[in-house]
Structure 1
Amino acid sequence: MGIIAYYARVDAETLARARQDTGVVIGQLFDPAFAARVADVDKAWWPLRQLIEHAGAPVDPVTGGTPIHGHSPEDMLLEFTPEQVGTAAAFLSTTPASTILAGMVEVEDLAAYGFDSANDDDRAYIAGQYETLVDQYAKAAETGESIVVFFS
């Protein structure tokens, strides 16, 4: 079993509450009424982080936010400001999955996490999760929202 990363689009009021009480965001992640504002990239967060960095992203949209809570992936909440979201969204929306996947051969850590650059299923899985991340950042940038990341 691995760690799953959840990306929640939050407005300024929710973000302010989350800074005081992390349960605000964590509770919303699993609330069906909030589901449209949450995306998860399943266990692909680590290869996505490596591949997006390898592609030259100006902001790490996976784990580069400011910690709100916790120190390890198992209990961490990260905040991405609207400015960081906009920068990340601009990069992600102009960088196709094929560019990200091209780095799979060169990023050696992926094999250690069970991802094979020659495996079509692994490539499709990572590409699909990348598109989920692209979409979430695009929506947040469009509305001027922050993104809060929770690892579970």
Structure 2
Amino acid sequence: TVPAAAVSLAAAITASPTIAVTADAVAVDDAASGGFWDDFERELTRRQKDKKERLKRKEKAKKLADKLHRELALAERAIEDEAERKAELARINRLVANSQQRIIALGSERLNMVMAEALERQTFSTMERLERSLIQVREEEQFLLMATQILVNQ
């Protein structure tokens, strides 16, 4: 169950014009996923894997013996990196937009402000800031669950 304070905070934030949510703007399909945290983990893992791949390709391009081929390969990598970065930003924006209500339900005022900024600006840096905030909230929840389990088992 969601604590009453989180429900009232979510209602207050949803009523705010800066984080207004309409059914048309957010279509959430929980049936196809394990919930927000599973979606978040999958996206985070995919981004880390893609980043490693980009670095490998860039290193491979740097090792080319012929200067012209090396410069062309590096320029091609830069173009691909920019395209991948734009696609990644679009995926993150969709994840946040589709998960807006679930993020609000987490009950963190700071997280909700970061989310509002990320949705408003839709820049890579604001999405990364939101990602860091979500990781922090998840770690705090995991700590509280472990502490509760320790107390219950005593």
TM-score range, shorter chain: under 0.3
TM-score (norm 2): 0.27
Larger radius of gyration: 2
TM-score (norm 1): 0.28
Does 1 or 2 have the higher relative contact order (CA < 8 Å, sep 6+)? 1
Q: Which has the higher helix share?
A: 2
